[in-house]
Amino acid sequence: MNNIFVICETENGKISDVSLELLTKGRSLANELKCQLEALVIGDHLADIEKQLYPYGTDMVWVADDSRLVFYSTLPYTAIAVQLFKEQKPQIVLLGASSFGRDLGPRVSSALASGLTADCTSLEIGDHEDKRAGKQYTHLLYQIRPAFGGNIVATIINPDKRPQMATVREGVMKKAIHNENYKGKRTDLDVSKYVKDDDFVVKIIERHIESSKVNIKNASIIVAGGYGVGSKENFDLLAQLAETIGAEVGASRAAVDAGFAGHDRQIGQTGVTVRPKLYIACGISGQIQHIAGMQDSAMIISINNDPGAPINKIADYVITGDLTEVLPKMIKYYKKNTK
Protein backbone atom coordinates (compact mmCIF):
# COMPACT_ATOMS: atom_id res chain seq x y z
CA MET A 1 0.00 0.00 0.00
CA ASN A 2 1.06 3.54 -0.65
CA ASN A 3 4.13 2.50 -2.61
CA ILE A 4 5.70 3.67 -5.86
CA PHE A 5 5.05 1.61 -9.00
CA VAL A 6 6.83 1.66 -12.35
CA ILE A 7 5.00 0.00 -15.24
CA CYS A 8 7.90 -1.53 -17.17
CA GLU A 9 8.23 -1.93 -20.89
CA THR A 10 10.13 -4.85 -22.39
CA GLU A 11 11.79 -5.41 -25.71
CA ASN A 12 12.81 -8.96 -26.66
CA GLY A 13 12.97 -10.06 -23.05
CA LYS A 14 14.91 -7.00 -21.92
CA ILE A 15 13.53 -4.26 -19.72
CA SER A 16 13.77 -1.06 -21.75
CA ASP A 17 16.08 1.74 -20.70
CA VAL A 18 13.33 4.22 -19.95
CA SER A 19 11.85 1.81 -17.37
CA LEU A 20 15.24 1.38 -15.68
CA GLU A 21 15.67 5.16 -15.64
CA LEU A 22 12.29 5.48 -13.92
CA LEU A 23 13.17 2.77 -11.39
CA THR A 24 16.32 4.71 -10.56
CA LYS A 25 14.26 7.85 -9.99
CA GLY A 26 11.58 5.79 -8.20
CA ARG A 27 14.21 4.41 -5.81
CA SER A 28 15.28 7.86 -4.70
CA LEU A 29 11.66 9.02 -4.34
CA ALA A 30 10.89 5.86 -2.33
CA ASN A 31 13.81 6.60 0.01
CA GLU A 32 12.51 10.11 0.51
CA LEU A 33 8.96 8.91 1.13
CA LYS A 34 10.12 5.88 3.13
CA CYS A 35 8.05 3.50 1.05
CA GLN A 36 8.72 0.56 -1.26
CA LEU A 37 9.56 0.57 -4.96
CA GLU A 38 7.53 -1.89 -7.02
CA ALA A 39 7.50 -2.85 -10.70
CA LEU A 40 4.79 -4.28 -12.94
CA VAL A 41 5.92 -6.30 -15.95
CA ILE A 42 3.38 -7.62 -18.47
CA GLY A 43 4.32 -9.93 -21.34
CA ASP A 44 5.23 -13.44 -22.36
CA HIS A 45 8.21 -15.65 -21.38
CA LEU A 46 9.13 -13.54 -18.37
CA ALA A 47 11.06 -16.15 -16.38
CA ASP A 48 13.89 -14.44 -14.47
CA ILE A 49 12.77 -10.96 -15.52
CA GLU A 50 12.95 -9.83 -11.87
CA LYS A 51 16.72 -10.31 -11.94
CA GLN A 52 17.01 -7.33 -14.27
CA LEU A 53 15.01 -5.19 -11.85
CA TYR A 54 16.41 -5.95 -8.39
CA PRO A 55 19.74 -4.15 -8.92
CA TYR A 56 17.80 -0.91 -9.39
CA GLY A 57 16.40 -1.24 -5.89
CA THR A 58 13.05 -2.84 -6.75
CA ASP A 59 11.43 -4.36 -3.66
CA MET A 60 8.58 -6.14 -5.42
CA VAL A 61 8.14 -7.30 -9.00
CA TRP A 62 4.60 -8.10 -10.13
CA VAL A 63 4.55 -10.28 -13.23
CA ALA A 64 1.70 -11.01 -15.64
CA ASP A 65 3.12 -13.71 -17.90
CA ASP A 66 0.81 -15.09 -20.59
CA SER A 67 1.26 -15.97 -24.27
CA ARG A 68 -1.66 -13.69 -25.18
CA LEU A 69 0.25 -10.75 -23.73
CA VAL A 70 3.29 -11.12 -25.96
CA PHE A 71 2.74 -7.74 -27.65
CA TYR A 72 1.42 -4.60 -26.03
CA SER A 73 -2.32 -4.19 -26.48
CA THR A 74 -4.33 -1.46 -24.76
CA LEU A 75 -7.26 -3.36 -23.27
CA PRO A 76 -5.64 -6.38 -21.57
CA TYR A 77 -2.67 -4.36 -20.29
CA THR A 78 -5.06 -1.72 -18.91
CA ALA A 79 -7.22 -4.35 -17.24
CA ILE A 80 -4.22 -5.84 -15.43
CA ALA A 81 -2.77 -2.51 -14.30
CA VAL A 82 -6.12 -1.11 -13.17
CA GLN A 83 -7.09 -4.11 -11.09
CA LEU A 84 -3.64 -4.47 -9.54
CA PHE A 85 -3.63 -0.79 -8.58
CA LYS A 86 -7.10 -1.10 -7.08
CA GLU A 87 -5.73 -3.90 -4.91
CA GLN A 88 -2.34 -2.37 -4.10
CA LYS A 89 -3.29 1.32 -3.91
CA PRO A 90 0.03 2.86 -4.95
CA GLN A 91 0.61 6.55 -4.23
CA ILE A 92 2.71 7.09 -7.36
CA VAL A 93 2.77 5.33 -10.75
CA LEU A 94 5.43 6.13 -13.35
CA LEU A 95 5.61 5.10 -17.02
CA GLY A 96 7.87 5.89 -19.97
CA ALA A 97 6.49 8.54 -22.33
CA SER A 98 6.83 6.15 -25.28
CA SER A 99 4.01 5.05 -27.58
CA PHE A 100 3.44 2.34 -24.94
CA GLY A 101 3.20 4.65 -21.92
CA ARG A 102 1.30 7.33 -23.79
CA ASP A 103 -1.33 4.80 -24.88
CA LEU A 104 -1.58 2.92 -21.58
CA GLY A 105 -1.11 5.77 -19.08
CA PRO A 106 -4.19 7.86 -19.96
CA ARG A 107 -6.37 4.78 -20.19
CA VAL A 108 -5.33 3.59 -16.73
CA SER A 109 -5.61 7.05 -15.16
CA SER A 110 -9.10 7.52 -16.62
CA ALA A 111 -10.26 4.15 -15.29
CA LEU A 112 -8.93 5.04 -11.84
CA ALA A 113 -10.17 8.67 -12.12
CA SER A 114 -6.70 9.79 -11.05
CA GLY A 115 -4.55 12.48 -12.61
CA LEU A 116 -1.77 11.97 -15.14
CA THR A 117 0.94 14.39 -16.23
CA ALA A 118 2.67 13.70 -19.54
CA ASP A 119 6.34 14.18 -20.40
CA CYS A 120 7.66 15.31 -17.05
CA THR A 121 11.22 16.60 -17.06
CA SER A 122 11.61 16.54 -13.30
CA LEU A 123 9.89 14.80 -10.38
CA GLU A 124 10.22 16.05 -6.82
CA ILE A 125 8.50 15.64 -3.48
CA GLY A 126 6.98 18.72 -1.88
CA ASP A 127 4.16 20.21 0.11
CA HIS A 128 1.15 22.25 -0.87
CA GLU A 129 -1.28 24.54 0.84
CA ASP A 130 -4.75 25.08 -0.54
CA LYS A 131 -5.59 28.37 1.09
CA ARG A 132 -9.14 28.53 -0.20
CA ALA A 133 -10.06 25.08 1.14
CA GLY A 134 -7.84 25.57 4.17
CA LYS A 135 -6.07 22.31 3.46
CA GLN A 136 -2.46 21.35 4.01
CA TYR A 137 -0.86 18.62 1.89
CA THR A 138 2.52 17.04 2.52
CA HIS A 139 4.71 14.75 0.43
CA LEU A 140 3.01 15.34 -2.88
CA LEU A 141 4.66 14.45 -6.17
CA TYR A 142 5.62 17.62 -8.01
CA GLN A 143 5.30 16.78 -11.70
CA ILE A 144 7.36 19.34 -13.55
CA ARG A 145 7.00 19.68 -17.31
CA PRO A 146 7.38 22.14 -20.12
CA ALA A 147 4.09 23.58 -21.32
CA PHE A 148 2.84 25.87 -23.98
CA GLY A 149 5.15 24.56 -26.67
CA GLY A 150 8.07 24.51 -24.25
CA ASN A 151 8.01 28.21 -23.53
CA ILE A 152 7.12 27.83 -19.87
CA VAL A 153 7.63 25.21 -17.17
CA ALA A 154 4.66 24.11 -15.08
CA THR A 155 4.58 22.27 -11.76
CA ILE A 156 1.52 20.00 -11.62
CA ILE A 157 0.18 18.28 -8.51
CA ASN A 158 -2.64 15.84 -7.75
CA PRO A 159 -3.67 16.85 -4.24
CA ASP A 160 -6.55 14.44 -3.65
CA LYS A 161 -6.61 11.56 -6.12
CA ARG A 162 -4.34 8.53 -6.03
CA PRO A 163 -2.25 7.28 -7.65
CA GLN A 164 -0.35 10.35 -8.81
CA MET A 165 0.67 9.33 -12.32
CA ALA A 166 3.37 10.69 -14.61
CA THR A 167 5.12 9.77 -17.84
CA VAL A 168 8.75 10.67 -18.57
CA ARG A 169 10.62 10.51 -21.86
CA GLU A 170 13.62 8.31 -22.43
CA GLY A 171 16.91 9.86 -21.35
CA VAL A 172 15.42 12.51 -19.07
CA MET A 173 16.22 10.58 -15.88
CA LYS A 174 19.59 8.95 -15.35
CA LYS A 175 19.81 5.19 -15.06
CA ALA A 176 22.03 3.93 -12.24
CA ILE A 177 22.41 0.61 -10.45
CA HIS A 178 21.35 0.95 -6.82
CA ASN A 179 23.03 -2.21 -5.54
CA GLU A 180 24.11 -5.27 -7.57
CA ASN A 181 23.07 -7.59 -4.75
CA TYR A 182 19.75 -5.97 -3.89
CA LYS A 183 17.05 -8.59 -3.35
CA GLY A 184 13.33 -8.05 -3.82
CA LYS A 185 10.39 -10.39 -4.24
CA ARG A 186 8.53 -11.63 -7.29
CA THR A 187 4.79 -12.24 -7.36
CA ASP A 188 3.14 -13.87 -10.36
CA LEU A 189 -0.40 -12.73 -11.09
CA ASP A 190 -3.07 -15.21 -12.10
CA VAL A 191 -3.67 -13.52 -15.46
CA SER A 192 -7.08 -15.15 -16.03
CA LYS A 193 -8.37 -13.33 -12.96
CA TYR A 194 -7.32 -9.96 -14.42
CA VAL A 195 -8.35 -10.14 -18.09
CA LYS A 196 -11.57 -11.16 -19.86
CA ASP A 197 -11.83 -12.65 -23.35
CA ASP A 198 -13.39 -9.35 -24.46
CA ASP A 199 -10.12 -7.60 -23.73
CA PHE A 200 -8.62 -9.28 -26.78
CA VAL A 201 -11.00 -7.88 -29.44
CA VAL A 202 -8.27 -5.77 -31.04
CA LYS A 203 -6.01 -7.99 -33.15
CA ILE A 204 -2.46 -7.28 -34.21
CA ILE A 205 -2.21 -8.38 -37.82
CA GLU A 206 1.32 -7.37 -38.66
CA ARG A 207 4.30 -5.86 -36.88
CA HIS A 208 7.57 -4.52 -38.22
CA ILE A 209 9.46 -3.11 -35.32
CA GLU A 210 13.20 -2.71 -35.55
CA SER A 211 15.28 -2.92 -32.43
CA SER A 212 16.95 0.35 -31.66
CA LYS A 213 20.29 0.68 -33.37
CA VAL A 214 21.01 4.29 -32.72
CA ASN A 215 22.37 5.02 -29.29
CA ILE A 216 22.73 8.76 -29.00
CA LYS A 217 21.60 8.77 -25.39
CA ASN A 218 24.70 7.04 -24.13
CA ALA A 219 27.19 8.57 -26.54
CA SER A 220 29.97 10.58 -24.92
CA ILE A 221 30.37 12.78 -27.97
CA ILE A 222 27.53 13.91 -30.24
CA VAL A 223 27.74 15.69 -33.57
CA ALA A 224 24.26 17.14 -34.06
CA GLY A 225 22.89 18.74 -37.21
CA GLY A 226 20.03 21.13 -37.75
CA TYR A 227 18.05 22.53 -40.59
CA GLY A 228 21.09 24.59 -41.52
CA VAL A 229 22.90 21.44 -42.65
CA GLY A 230 20.78 21.82 -45.76
CA SER A 231 20.65 18.29 -47.18
CA LYS A 232 20.99 14.61 -46.54
CA GLU A 233 24.29 14.68 -48.43
CA ASN A 234 25.66 17.36 -46.12
CA PHE A 235 24.59 15.21 -43.18
CA ASP A 236 27.18 12.70 -44.42
CA LEU A 237 29.80 15.28 -43.48
CA LEU A 238 28.56 15.04 -39.90
CA ALA A 239 28.68 11.26 -40.08
CA GLN A 240 32.27 11.45 -41.32
CA LEU A 241 33.33 13.71 -38.47
CA ALA A 242 31.45 11.48 -36.01
CA GLU A 243 33.21 8.40 -37.31
CA THR A 244 36.59 10.09 -37.17
CA ILE A 245 36.30 11.25 -33.57
CA GLY A 246 34.17 8.35 -32.28
CA ALA A 247 30.85 10.15 -31.90
CA GLU A 248 27.16 9.57 -32.66
CA VAL A 249 25.11 11.75 -34.99
CA GLY A 250 22.11 13.61 -33.53
CA ALA A 251 19.62 16.01 -35.08
CA SER A 252 17.18 18.81 -34.37
CA ARG A 253 13.51 18.33 -35.07
CA ALA A 254 13.67 20.62 -38.08
CA ALA A 255 16.39 18.38 -39.55
CA VAL A 256 14.34 15.26 -38.83
CA ASP A 257 11.20 16.83 -40.31
CA ALA A 258 13.16 17.78 -43.42
CA GLY A 259 14.19 14.14 -43.81
CA PHE A 260 17.93 14.75 -43.25
CA ALA A 261 18.03 12.30 -40.34
CA GLY A 262 15.89 9.56 -38.77
CA HIS A 263 13.43 10.09 -35.91
CA ASP A 264 15.51 8.07 -33.48
CA ARG A 265 18.22 10.74 -33.68
CA GLN A 266 16.06 13.66 -32.58
CA ILE A 267 17.30 15.53 -29.54
CA GLY A 268 15.13 17.83 -27.47
CA GLN A 269 11.88 18.15 -25.65
CA THR A 270 10.08 15.73 -27.95
CA GLY A 271 13.13 13.61 -28.69
CA VAL A 272 15.75 12.22 -26.35
CA THR A 273 17.64 14.09 -23.69
CA VAL A 274 21.41 13.77 -23.86
CA ARG A 275 24.32 14.76 -21.59
CA PRO A 276 27.50 13.98 -23.50
CA LYS A 277 30.91 15.32 -22.56
CA LEU A 278 31.02 17.10 -25.92
CA TYR A 279 28.13 18.35 -28.09
CA ILE A 280 28.94 19.79 -31.48
CA ALA A 281 25.91 21.68 -32.82
CA CYS A 282 26.07 22.24 -36.58
CA GLY A 283 23.52 24.55 -38.20
CA ILE A 284 21.22 24.46 -35.18
CA SER A 285 19.65 27.74 -34.14
CA GLY A 286 19.01 26.67 -30.55
CA GLN A 287 15.29 27.00 -29.93
CA ILE A 288 14.16 26.34 -26.40
CA GLN A 289 12.77 22.90 -27.27
CA HIS A 290 16.11 21.78 -28.64
CA ILE A 291 18.16 23.23 -25.81
CA ALA A 292 15.92 21.44 -23.30
CA GLY A 293 17.41 18.17 -24.51
CA MET A 294 21.13 19.03 -24.54
CA GLN A 295 21.83 21.92 -22.16
CA ASP A 296 23.50 19.62 -19.63
CA SER A 297 26.26 18.67 -22.05
CA ALA A 298 29.62 19.22 -20.38
CA MET A 299 30.99 21.16 -23.35
CA ILE A 300 29.18 22.70 -26.32
CA ILE A 301 30.67 23.79 -29.64
CA SER A 302 28.41 25.72 -31.98
CA ILE A 303 29.06 25.99 -35.69
CA ASN A 304 26.70 28.49 -37.25
CA ASN A 305 26.96 31.13 -39.95
CA ASP A 306 24.81 33.47 -37.88
CA PRO A 307 26.84 35.01 -35.03
CA GLY A 308 23.55 35.87 -33.29
CA ALA A 309 22.18 32.30 -33.20
CA PRO A 310 20.61 31.68 -29.76
CA ILE A 311 22.60 28.47 -29.28
CA ASN A 312 25.78 30.56 -29.09
CA LYS A 313 24.59 31.88 -25.74
CA ILE A 314 24.97 28.49 -24.09
CA ALA A 315 28.03 27.37 -26.09
CA ASP A 316 31.58 27.15 -24.76
CA TYR A 317 33.11 27.59 -28.23
CA VAL A 318 31.52 29.47 -31.09
CA ILE A 319 32.69 29.01 -34.66
CA THR A 320 31.01 31.50 -36.95
CA GLY A 321 31.15 30.08 -40.44
CA ASP A 322 29.70 27.74 -43.03
CA LEU A 323 29.56 24.20 -41.70
CA THR A 324 30.37 22.71 -45.11
CA GLU A 325 33.77 24.37 -44.81
CA VAL A 326 34.32 23.97 -41.09
CA LEU A 327 33.52 20.25 -40.79
CA PRO A 328 36.09 19.04 -43.37
CA LYS A 329 38.72 21.13 -41.58
CA MET A 330 37.84 19.54 -38.26
CA ILE A 331 38.23 16.08 -39.78
CA LYS A 332 41.51 17.02 -41.44
CA TYR A 333 43.11 18.55 -38.34
CA TYR A 334 41.90 15.84 -36.01
CA LYS A 335 43.55 13.21 -38.21
CA LYS A 336 46.70 15.26 -38.60
CA ASN A 337 47.14 15.69 -34.85
CA THR A 338 46.30 12.18 -33.69
CA LYS A 339 48.61 10.21 -35.95
Q: Per CB under 8 A, which of residues 214..233 are in contact with other proteins?
A: 221
User: How many whole angstroms separate alpha carbon 11 and alpha carbon 52?
Assistant: 13
133 binds, among other proteins, ligand FAD, none (CB under 5 to 8 A by kind): none
99 binds, among other proteins, ligand FAD, none (CB under 5 to 8 A by kind): other proteins
User: How many whole angstroms separate alpha carbon 250 and alpha carbon 216?
Assistant: 7
Query: Which one of the spans 137-145, 177-185, 204-212, 299-307 is the region binding ligand FAD (CB under 6 A)?
Result: 299-307
User: How many whole angstroms separate alpha carbon 229 and alpha carbon 133?
Assistant: 55
Q: How far apart are the first and last CA of the chain?
A: 61
β-pair partners for 77? none
156 binds, among ligand FAD, other proteins, none (CB under 5 to 8 A by kind): other proteins
Q: Which is nearer to ligand FAD, 165 or 224 (CB)?
A: 224
* DSSP β-ladder status, 317-320 and 300-304: parallel
Could you tell me if 254 and 270 are in contact, meaning their C-beta atoms sit under 8 angstroms apart?
Answer: no
User: How many whole angstroms separate alpha carbon 203 and alpha carbon 236?
Assistant: 41
How large is the angle between the packed helices 232-245 and 323-338, nearest 10 degrees? 20
Q: Which is nearer to other proteins, 18 or 39 (CB)?
A: 18
Could you tell me if 124 and 142 are in contact, meaning their C-beta atoms sit under 8 angstroms apart?
Answer: yes
Binding track, positions 6-45, relative to other proteins; x by CB under 8 A? ----------------------------------------
Could you tell me if 91 and 137 are in contact, meaning their C-beta atoms sit under 8 angstroms apart?
Answer: no
Q: Does 113 contact other proteins by CB under 8 A?
A: yes
Q: Does 110 contact other proteins by CB under 8 A?
A: yes
Q: Does 226 contact ligand FAD by CB under 6 A?
A: yes
Among 24, 78, 91, 252, binds other proteins (CB under 8 A): 78
Omega into 163 within 30° of 0, i.e. cis? Answer: yes
Among 163, 184, 228, 276, binds ligand FAD (CB under 6 A): 228
Distance of closest approach, residue 224 Cβ to ligand FAD, in angstroms: 9
Buried b (16+ CB within 10 A) or exposed e, 83-112: ebbeebebbbbbbbbbebbbebbebbbeeb
Binding track, positions 250-279, relative to ligand FAD; x by CB under 6 A? --xxxx----------xxxxxx--------
Picking from 326, 323, 306, 303, the residue whose alpha carbon sits closest to that of residue 231 is 323
Q: Which is nearer to ligand FAD, 88 or 270 (CB)?
A: 270
Query: Which one of the spans 32-40, 51-59, 85-93, 309-317 is the region binding other proteins (CB under 8 A)?
Result: 309-317
Which residues within the stretch 232-291 sit at the binding site for other proteins (CB under 8 A)?
Answer: 245, 263-264, 270, 277-278, 288, 291
Could you tell me if 100 and 44 are in contact, meaning their C-beta atoms sit under 8 angstroms apart?
Answer: no
Among 83, 240, 295, 305, binds ligand FAD (CB under 6 A): 305
Among 1, 207, 308, 339, binds other proteins (CB under 8 A): 207
Residues near ligand FAD, by CB under 6 A: 149-150, 226-228, 252-255, 266-271, 283-285, 287, 289-290, 293, 303-306, 309, 322-324
